Structure 1
Amino acid sequence: MDRTHEIFDWPVTARDAELHTIKAALGRRGGALLVGAPGVGKSLLLSTALRLAAREGRRVLHVGGVGWNGATGTQGFGTLAECLEEAVRPSSGTVGAAGAAGDRALIGIDDAHLVDAASGVRLHRLVAAGRISVLATTRQDVPAPAGVDKLWVERLVEHIEVAPFDSAAMGRVLRARLGGHTDTATLERLWAATHGNALMLRELVEHALEDGSLAFTDGAWRWPGLGARPGKRLADVVGVGLRDLGPEEHELVNMLAVAEPLEDEIVAAAGLGRAAEALDLRGIVSVERRGARARLRLAVPLARLVVAHRMSGLTAQRLRREVADALERTGARRDDDVLRIVSLRMDAGLVPEREQILAAARIATRRRDFPLAERMCLLALQETAGEPDVPPLCGPVPDTPEYRAELHRLMTRVEKFPEQTADRIRAALLLGRVLVGRNRPAEAETVLSAALGTEVRVPLEEYVAAVHTRVTNMAWGLSRLQDARDLLARTIARMDPDHAGVLRGTQAAIAVMADDLRGVVAIGDGVLDEPAVDRPVAQALVPVVAYARSELGDPTGALGLLDRYQDSTADWDTDAVLLVNAVRARCSALLGRLESAAEALETVHRYDPGHGRPALLQAVLDRSRLLRLLGRPDEAVALLRRTVASDTSHEYPVTAAWPLAQLAGALAESGDHTEALRTLVEVRSLRGTTPASPIAEDEIAYENALVLAHTGDHYGAGVQAAELAGRAAAAGRTVRAVAGLLLAARVTDGAAVRFPHRALLRDGRNAGGLVRVLADYVEALADADGALLMEVSEQLVRMGALPLATEAAAQAARAFKASGQHRKGREAAAACRDLLRDSGAPLPSWVGRDGRQEPDSVSLTPREREVAALAATGMSNRDIADRLVVSVRTVENHLHRIYHKLGITARNDLKRGLEKLTGRPQEPGRAAPLRLVGAPGGSEQVA
């Protein structure tokens, strides 16, 4: 059989559900109307559906740009009138009779909104009479002729919305195009640049492949993001969507390209209100609302780069200055306004006053917009009277050897001429903090050591903050824990006792890094029990001490500490207040108030899509964990994907691998086991490239064990989880220890619980709330106590943790059955069924409906699972070997064993074999995937 006709364009590989709906519509109705925004892939979807219909024996006629003239069994026409005339000719066998769907001619129409009125009316009549079927595309922002609209208004055809790709669909599309795994951060960057628009995605990927920015390294495709130049073809394609703009519309698009987002009052004041309305209707701009404020952005992020690149430099300068002046006229009441005014004027070639630059740099730092903050700090350092040889640095800051050499030269000047101005020292101290945020600890140490070594007096608060930054950077970024402690001790000894109190908070932070949570509590008890504690001291210590208490299993004590200072937190810095609120929500969750804690954390993490990073990473991770506990892993996946795409390595104790590991666990819980295994491989590639944290390492180990458990390696998962419980218990981290021990007990029927863990369970019960319930759960599994398991299930239901409650009920049914209590077993099984219906989540693989485990003969080792997951994406043996740092022969041996264990004979069957092993499809709820031929490497790919 000639398989060359099976080659489909790669963006359609994620349209299985739409193709399934189209096929059903052609069978039971007069066809379908595909509606969507420009560039989402309507035409490609139409072309693919018509090919499939022709292959099934349908007579297909088409008009418009479906782009495949000459295919067997099809005819193309220049106009719809000609096409309809041919469709009803006597030779077609359909004249005068309404035959079965398969006997009617199928008319394909691309851009049906361009059909003339008379042809539209005739099309409607023929479909209504059952003489033809129709499959057509139309734009959602353009009115269609009355005859075309009446087709779906009268329900003669199916109305199918073709939406942009979400992140999961984009992953499938990219695997079809690239023939391998795309790392999670790259996937999110591509989505952020294109918003899932199929046309933009295709052009961006092809452009990135051509210029080498999208490259296969360390076993995955990686892309750092948009460069300065978009490339001619990419720019031309984006420009197609910006054709036929009026003068005012063109002006507004230019203004948005250099200064978005724009408030609606600024747009109105510029006389561009009507242009904004027109562009909104065309889908060129989008409107975001925050309270009473409405702000405009370009709908496709790529358009901003293209328009700005093509714009005259003089035009860009004028627009930036006009927007900055307009913001200033509104009073610049918000921090965001100050930041934008300074940034716009810098980009327009102006140099604001140094104090204004530093004020804006502090705002950018608080918002964690570290690239912008770095530019501002360097400008404040460079621009100095009497130094005309040092030009202002207003462009993007490169991380190159030349840049680092220039930075060293600037700091040498600071040391040599400290008397010039204290503002330069203040700028250097802030720059050190920014470099820590950008994960450049060595450069941060260079800057901070030089600036702190001068005799220039700066505000005490800024000096103490810089000492804190330097000490924590030495301990965390440079792994020089003892040096950090020594420096901190010397600094405290030199300072007035009243002024050194804030640095006790630094001591507590260093104790957290050393995994000495009991030491943190001791520091807090020694300082916070004093009669009067200054605001800076309290805000430095209270959140850290409360966090340590909660992790040690004392959420009640942590809440009590937070409540003591609740009235004074109104005067605290924003970051301290956010941390306090996050710890409060964490304690609420540990006490069993899961829903309210998740809602509180939603407000704490404050993900800002305009800046692409969360305000508090620990809050994001806590919220994602709660979402999973509440049975909403898909929401957790979406949240974690955004987080992984941001820089997460600057906030202790969060390492770059921790959010990625949580993503792997959430994927496993949502049923995407193959993607979870691939993500774990990414986690391993990141570990060792960033500083280690005992807290983060144990969190990663938990997620690794969870993924192993969901993919069938129950014994390996139990061993890893039990080891984790032992490490966490030794450090006093009761919460994580109990969670690890529970996972070990769940996947081994309690066999992983031994006598030495009984003391840990007592500590867990003392914690109360959720931790007490989880400790009872462990003991119930260890003792096969059906009654206690049912009690645990009921308590988890009241807390909202339905998936875990369902599992406990299933295990209770099994325990009752094993002990001969059949009536209670049936009651527990009935409760389990009710919970399964309410939660919508299936039981995990280690708890079958009949309570039986999978036979050991089918289980794969962790390494075999990784090899199988990577091979299922189409990666070659060489690429897999490079990714896992093993030989090609080792990969081949693994694959031979995998084939034998899964009962398969070919690489193309790996996905099916993995689904059979885990008992769940990898992409639930989707139609059978298309098969693609001609993928990279010459092998057949299944998207």
Structure 2
Amino acid sequence: MVLSVGGASWISGTRARGFGSLAECLGSLDPSTLVGSASDRPLVGIDDAHLVDAVAGDRLHRLVAAGRLSVLATARQDASAPPGIDKLWVERLVEHIEVAPFDSTALGSVLHARLGGHIDTSTLERLWAATHGNALMLRELVEHALEDESLTCVNGTWVWGGLTERPGKRLSDVIRVGLRDLSHDEHELVHMLAVAEPLEAEIVTSFGLAKAAESLDLRGIISVERTRARVRLRLAIPLSRVVVASRMSDLTAQRLRRQVADALERTGARREDDILRIVSLRMEAGLVPGREQLLTAARTAIRRKDNTLAERLCLLALRDSPSEAETSLFDPVPQSARYGAGLRRVLARVGSDPANATDCVRAALLLGQVLVGKGDHEDAETVLATALDSGVEVPLDEYVVATHARVINMAWSLRRVADAGRVLATAIAAIGPEHAGMLHATRAMIAVLSDQLQSAVDIGDSVLCDESADLPVTQTLLPTVTFARTELGDPAGALALLDRYREVSLDWDTDAMLLANAVSARCSYLLGNLRGAAEELDAIHRDAADRQPVLMQSVLDRARLLRLLGQPEHAVILLRQSLAVETTHEFPATKAWPLAQLAGALAESGRHAEALRTLVEVRSVRSEILSSPIAEDEIEYESALVLAHTGDHSGAVAQAREVVERAGAAGRLVRAVFALHLAARITDGAALRFRDQALLLAARNTGGIVRVIADHVRALADGDGNALTKVSEQFSDMGALPLAAEAAALAVRAHRASGQRRKGREAWAACRELLRGCDSGLPPWTDRESTQERDVAPLTPREREVAALASTGLSNRDIADRLVVSVRTVENHLHRIYHKLGITARSDLGRGLEAVIARTESTPLTAPLQLMRPAGAERVA
């Protein structure tokens, strides 16, 4: 029974509809109705229960304690409620449930329900970063974005690039409600954080705002971040920063920025990004820092991949008088010639002043590196070529770094490998091999890009054995060479090389040290120490907590480790966070690579339809950017994995076999073995070829997880239950629980086929135990027998793509443009899809596709193992 009050069954914390106060409402109730069993009691709903007055709270408590009333109430976590309300849950008269913010996965589900379509990965992360999962903020932000059309559906995918203008009135009002009743000091601190967060606790204390910070922390308005001995404060809801800053007086904002910049400078600007923060704050306050400060800040911005800020800093440093506006440097010219023409004009004006000319060229060299990072590769080549060929002398280390950026840009992005080689050879000849420094690493990177990994290793062997190899040479060359060694199947040699330089690496640049540590973790996991590698990568991410973004290669390795350890959902979160960072590809990775890994992680976590949609997104991204053979094979591997999970076993095997052939021909043993492993798992190791035998023999000599994978493939091919059990135990010891459970499950089948029922029962019990430690169940191909019976006419890979796109609402023309086929081809595909799925309407495509995927899925502890369970296995606990 629900109490109807004035025609309404829900009561505000202050007033009931049709009544005065809540106390008057409760007093008007007929006592004769407040009896009966629990199911017959009146139910009163109270919104904003923290606003209830003390008299009403006490009366409500007495009625509930007497068993005469049931209550469902909501209250703000950061507000104090009257004693009567608090006593309801303290005395266990009501159940106290804390409504936590959404995590990124739950946020995605909520948005999918609200928008009714696929949401772009970067959009999901931007919305989570803006709201931190706060349900109220998320709703208001999404509704605002829909109203101003910044959140739009593009080709069946919802995309949001962020707030394009000042937040609307309602969104601003909702946020300001949470910031009401602030004291003067609290108000000052909130405004300071809005324009200059994060703020160190000692800076807040120096302004006499420590007590205000404590109060705001208790109210949940600010959040406290702790990194080792460093304590920093931020606004708890990032969207609050935009709203508060947009309503602040310009004079107030300028004053606060200058005060924080001065305070940072007084503390000594000890950390790498302090100069960048000081320069940025002063620029926003209307001040123009000196050129040397601008250049220092620009280098830090480049390392942090904040290319927009770095570009602005470089343009300011290129001015030839303090009063010159940054926008006047380049008059309107065709885009392709904009930077080159503007730079030549600047150099012509300052040519008579050598010191000024040198500073301008230094700024131009940094600008070229920024343009590479932004993906403006043609402009980057123009700027770097103009600056490097200007004849102006610059510091050698800056010349080498800029040459490195130019050569990699030419070879990696513009695909002018021969021209890049000539530029590199000319530069090394000009400065002498003994001074080439990181250009030796450039040679090695060109070799990796060309899929000539052994050449990269040879370069490393010749340079690193030279006693004259100094710190800049080793810190740039070593990560590339050791990465090549791991790809070739020599993780032990790579790790030994890294260990040789372990002590001196403490003096390396932060980027180089993090990259070397990431390669070290990669070696550890290939050698079978999965848990140790995970700890190393976690440490890298903690060390890089103040850096944005973290090195992509370490993200990829960390996500793969999480998946091997049976935590695909954690990998999904990590990959989505990395994909939200606005950056171009990072050698040798591209944006398509982590996106493909995301598709694989989604498939492993059972979200197969979303995995297929993500693969379509991968196809779109791949068509927009250039890639490397290494990245392409990684993407193809993940695509094959998704196909396998969604039931297209023949397509998955064919794709995995292509990776085996390509990677094997290039000597990339690790990727070739992993791809062969996938194909063998899907087919029980059938049809091993002569070339595969040699591959497995080489893999067995590497040790670690690669050797166990080779043993797994052999055991599958032989149908050897004992060997599969041994492989399962080895995977388990390493921490690779999903592979261990899968090997144990297939050992059940092998033992059953050979009549060894006791061993089958033991393997079944081991499989169940292993699955308890995983977030995912067994892959669907372990249920191969039933799949063959029921999947008579499976969808082809292209039909799955067409179905996935059509289910998002795309027209046939849009699908044809996306897949680069004719409209008639799309229509033919849809005709066959309708027939196979047994549907007649386009609106049923989503349901039909989900049904096809569901038919190939297996329930973790039931379906696949029921099929393989030996007689008597049901008695095994």
Report the 3-state secondary structure (helix = DSSP H, G, I; strand = E; otherwise coil) of the residue aligned with 1:138.
coil
List per-residue Cα deviations over 1:240-298 (Å, max 9, x = no partner).
22223222222111111111111122112212222222222222211111222221111
Structure 2 counterpart of 1:412: 344
Structure 1 counterpart of 2:10: 62
1:574-613 mapped onto 2 (5 Å cutoff) = 574-606=510-542, 613=548
Distance 1:849 1:693 in 2: 35
The CA deviation at 1:540 is 2.5
Contact preservation (8 Å) 2:404, 2:442: yes
Structure 2 counterpart of 1:116: 53
1:768-779 mapped onto 2 (5 Å cutoff) = 768-779=703-714
Check 1:77–1:609 CA distance in 2 against 1; reply closer, same or farther (3 A cut). Answer: farther
Structure 2 counterpart of 1:642: 577
Structure 1 counterpart of 2:310: 373
Distance 1:244 1:486 in 2: 67
1:430-445 mapped onto 2 (5 Å cutoff) = 430-445=366-381
1:550-699 mapped onto 2 (5 Å cutoff) = 550-606=486-542, 613-699=548-634
**1:391 has 2:391 as partner:** no
Paired amino acid for 1:777: H
Distance 1:823 1:921 in 2: 24
Of 650, 655, 658, 1:723 maps to 658
Report the 3-state secondary structure (helix = DSSP H, G, I; strand = E; otherwise coil) of the residue aligned with 1:796.
helix
Distance 1:136 1:582 in 2: 50
Q: Which moved more, 1:797-806 or 1:354-363?
A: 354-363
Structure 1 counterpart of 2:22: 80
The CA deviation at 1:608 is 6.0
The CA deviation at 1:815 is 1.5
TM-score by length of 2: 0.91
**1:545 has 2:462 as partner:** no
Contact preservation (8 Å) 1:903, 1:913: no
Contact preservation (8 Å) 2:527, 2:705: yes
Distance 2:68 2:421 in 1: 85
The CA deviation at 1:344 is 0.8
Paired amino acid for 1:548: A
Structure 1: gaps of 5 or more residues: 1-25, 27-49, 70-74, 925-943
1:240-319 mapped onto 2 (5 Å cutoff) = 240-319=177-256
The CA deviation at 1:337 is 1.8
Structure 2 counterpart of 1:491: 427
Q: Which moved more, 1:900-909 or 1:849-858?
A: 900-909
Contact preservation (8 Å) 1:705, 1:718: yes
The CA deviation at 1:876 is 7.3
The CA deviation at 1:415 is 4.1
Paired amino acid for 2:274: D
Check 1:537–1:902 CA distance in 2 against 1; reply closer, same or farther (3 A cut). Answer: farther
Distance 1:162 1:902 in 2: 43
Report the 3-state secondary structure (helix = DSSP H, G, I; strand = E; otherwise coil) of the residue aligned with 2:232.
strand
Structure 2 counterpart of 1:351: 288
Report the 3-state secondary structure (helix = DSSP H, G, I; strand = E; otherwise coil) of the residue aligned with 2:128.
helix
Structure 2 counterpart of 1:335: 272
**1:363 has 2:300 as partner:** yes
Check 1:355–1:197 CA distance in 2 against 1; reply closer, same or farther (3 A cut). Answer: same
Distance 1:752 1:110 in 2: 66
Check 1:881–1:501 CA distance in 2 against 1; reply closer, same or farther (3 A cut). Answer: closer
Paired amino acid for 2:276: L
Q: CA RMSD in A?
A: 3.1
Check 1:687–1:814 CA distance in 2 against 1; reply closer, same or farther (3 A cut). Answer: same
Contact preservation (8 Å) 2:636, 2:655: yes
Paired amino acid for 2:489: G
Contact preservation (8 Å) 2:708, 2:727: yes
Check 1:891–1:882 CA distance in 2 against 1; reply closer, same or farther (3 A cut). Answer: farther
Distance 1:815 1:901 in 2: 39
Structure 1 counterpart of 2:753: 818
Structure 1 counterpart of 2:120: 183
1:773-852 mapped onto 2 (5 Å cutoff) = 773-839=708-774, 841-848=776-783
**1:460 has 2:402 as partner:** no
Distance 2:845 2:156 in 1: 18
Distance 2:551 2:157 in 1: 28
The CA deviation at 1:497 is 2.6
Structure 1 counterpart of 2:148: 211
Figure out how many residues of one structure are paired with residues of the other and give that number: 852
Structure 2 counterpart of 1:163: 100
Report the 3-state secondary structure (helix = DSSP H, G, I; strand = E; otherwise coil) of the residue aligned with 1:245.
coil
Distance 2:362 2:475 in 1: 22
Paired amino acid for 2:190: V
Higher relative contact order (CA 8 A, sep 6+): 1
Q: Which moved more, 1:245-254 or 1:314-323?
A: 245-254
Contact preservation (8 Å) 2:258, 2:281: yes
Check 1:144–1:880 CA distance in 2 against 1; reply closer, same or farther (3 A cut). Answer: farther
Distance 1:503 1:575 in 2: 17
Structure 1 counterpart of 2:416: 480
Of 851, 854, 857, 1:919 maps to 857
Check 1:914–1:150 CA distance in 2 against 1; reply closer, same or farther (3 A cut). Answer: farther
Q: Which moved more, 1:571-580 or 1:313-322?
A: 571-580
Check 1:258–1:328 CA distance in 2 against 1; reply closer, same or farther (3 A cut). Answer: same
Q: Which moved more, 1:554-563 or 1:820-829?
A: 820-829
**1:900 has 2:838 as partner:** yes
Paired amino acid for 1:708: L
Q: Which moved more, 1:734-743 or 1:852-861?
A: 852-861
Q: Which moved more, 1:525-534 or 1:248-257?
A: 525-534
Structure 1 counterpart of 2:643: 708
Contact preservation (8 Å) 1:647, 1:656: no
Distance 2:75 2:50 in 1: 5
The CA deviation at 1:597 is 0.5
Check 1:817–1:891 CA distance in 2 against 1; reply closer, same or farther (3 A cut). Answer: same
The CA deviation at 1:128 is 2.6
The CA deviation at 1:617 is 0.7
Check 1:497–1:906 CA distance in 2 against 1; reply closer, same or farther (3 A cut). Answer: closer
Structure 2: gaps of 5 or more residues: 863-877
Structure 2 counterpart of 1:941: none
Contact preservation (8 Å) 1:673, 1:707: yes
Contact preservation (8 Å) 1:258, 1:320: yes
Contact preservation (8 Å) 1:120, 1:145: yes
Report the 3-state secondary structure (helix = DSSP H, G, I; strand = E; otherwise coil) of the residue aligned with 1:848.
helix
Contact preservation (8 Å) 2:14, 2:52: no
Report the 3-state secondary structure (helix = DSSP H, G, I; strand = E; otherwise coil) of the residue aligned with 2:273.
helix
The CA deviation at 1:203 is 2.3
